[in-house]
Chains A and B, each alone.
Chain A
Amino acid sequence: MERINAYGLDFKALNEKLRQAETNCAMENCCGQRFLAAGMADTTLSISGVPGNALGAYLNGAQITVNGNAQDAVGDTMNAGRIVICGSVGDAVGYAMRGGEIFVRQNAGYRAGIHMKAYRDKVPALVIGGRSGSFLGEYQAGGRIVVLGLHTDGKPIVGNFPCTGLHGGKVFLRGSLRGVRFPPQVNVMPAAAQDLAEIEPLVNTFCALFSLDTAEILGVPFTVVTPNHENPFRQMYVAN
């Protein structure tokens, strides 16, 4: 495994180094450098320190693990591959994601999974271990978002205005929905067996990654949120 010391390198120099490195590498002393591994396909990368915004943007198959927190727009327009965040992420994780998987051990900021979409066999997945900020799944068009609510600070599992503009895909929320209000344009239902079957492989992976007990996680009821096709979002902001 090749080691890359990010200290003192700007994002351009660091990305250049990463592109010339072996396909298996560990980056150390990362501090805010943006666009790391953007578009990469074959690399396995682990990162210590805080990677900058748009980590793994347009990712096309690479595997990234961040040993702490990450900032905004992780996996922006990601196409394939996997990103694992052992801490929390900033805003807009999985922005316009169209394939691949993102696993976040702790919490996510605002607008997680905004504009996520799916096409045939491309079904992106975003799993958040703790809680999520406001506007979760905003304008979601496809894919699966799972929030497990394993946080311990007593705050609601998701902030204000979840699933605003959601018109495709599914959002799964585990456990209590205390303090959570949904717009009338989405259906909020207890997850049935066939819904849970969809997310079981994701929960299994999450538990394997972070040494958790799958049975315990799946032993709590889930809620599934889908678009309400009888009452879809229309003219959200302007009458045209």
Chain B
Amino acid sequence: MKKEGQIRIPAGCAIAAVISKDGNRMTGEAIIDAMRPMHARSNGLGGGFAAYGIYPQYRDFYAFHLFFDNRAVRKDCEAFLKERFELVHAERIPTRQTPAITDEPMIWRYFAAPLQSAVAAMQVDEKEYVMRAVMEINTRLPGSYVFSSGKNMGSFKAVGYPEDVGAFYRLEDYEGYCWTAHGRYPTNTPGWWGGAHPFSLLDYSVVHNGEISSYDANRRFMEMFGYKCTLQTDTEVITYILDYLVRRQGLTLKEAAAVIAAPFWSTIEHKADARERETAAFLRKVFPSLLITGPFSIVLGFSGGLMALNDRLKLRSMVVGEQNDKVFIASEEAAIRVMAPDVEKIWAPAGGEPVIVRVKEGAY
């Protein structure tokens, strides 16, 4: 079977998310149920979830989730990690055997703190250090793949339908204040475990419905800054772009959204507010290579919040609902109705209009 990287896979998919603005924690059951009515949007070749606030006992440590092809590569990878991190805990991620999920790799997690002397020697900050370690494992240690690397959050993904993937990872045993979910429909080739969504780096995770026409232009630009796209699945580059724009360049989420889903020049020209016009034009001129063209609806998860965004032409559907402390996002309203049957405030954001939700400070 050819993996991604040997063949490229465009995808049409389902996404969903729920977040509590008060930081109330929920098990994974609600988000799994939300994916059920959208079953037909996936084809069983990829499903996954990202959960925030699930590791409070290890909140100060980076939680690395890894796939290993075999025991030998795990040993090599652990040696690599031990040279760079203090590992406070290592374990297999608990799974439930189910006929719906087969051929699983070895799935481990490590809670780790960077060795401060090594961080100092590299003359970078801690997050940059972790990001470089992740890139190094994913490019230089074949058979090892870091699929989650943030603090107090984790991605869980597999080949299968999302509802089966959720059961496989026992997500009912986790409690988070924010969950995102993805059901995959790769259309050209077999899917594999690493190619499932979410795509995570540090505490950023992205689930994506769509297909990026500008993938190669985006990928080449990002490689200049040390981001190596090892999976050749378009979504991977969105995660790296957002890490680059928000963490490294210090853009706000709204500004980052205006870069990747930039308004048309004709739309910018007719903006009434002069400052808005200038800002939009400035962002387009400074980051032309990071405009993402083609259809997408994405949910970006991060510590303490999420952002939902459609491409500027809105070539994919996305609905948002709000009730009490919770905000819901999904490809279809039906998925939101599963989580909140009588929600009244429900709307479809315009293309390129980000929906940013933050948890109250101190509540996560």
Contact = CB atoms under 8 A, between A and B. Distances in A.
Given A109-B348, A134-B350, A181-B270, A31 B334 contact: yes
Interface stretch (A48-56, A120-128, A224-232): A48-56
Contacts of A53: 332
User: Which of B313, B317, B334, B338 has most chain A Cβ within 10 Å?
Assistant: B334
Interface stretch (B32-40, B115-123, B208-216): B32-40
Contacts of A91: 314, 317, 348
A32 B38 contact: yes
Interface in A90-121: 90-91, 109-110
A155 to B, nearest CB: 9
Contacts of A49: 337
Given A11-B40, A109-B348, A110-B351, A32 B314 contact: no
A168 B280 CA distance: 35
B348 A32 contact: no
Chain B residues touching A, range? 20 to 34
Q: Is the interface of A mostly helix, strand, loop or mixed?
A: loop
B351 A32 contact: no
A130 B120 CA distance: 59
Contacts of B338: 31
B346 interface: yes
B348 A133 contact: yes
Interface string B27-65: 000000000011110000000000000000000000000
A33 B270 CA distance: 41
A43 interface: no
A82 interface: no
Given A50-B333, A110-B314, A90 B319 contact: yes
Given A10-B39, A69-B346, A71-B332, A50 B337 contact: yes
Contacts of B38: 32
A52 B332 contact: yes
B335 interface: yes
B188 interface: no
5 contacts: A52-B332, A71-B317, A109-B317, A110-B351, A133-B314
Please name the 7 residue pairs, one residue from A and one from B, whose CB atoms are nearest each other, closest first. Answer: A32-B334, A32-B37, A50-B334, A110-B314, A31-B334, A31-B37, A50-B333
Interface of B: 37-40, 264, 267, 270, 313-314, 317, 319, 332-335, 337-338, 346, 348, 350-351
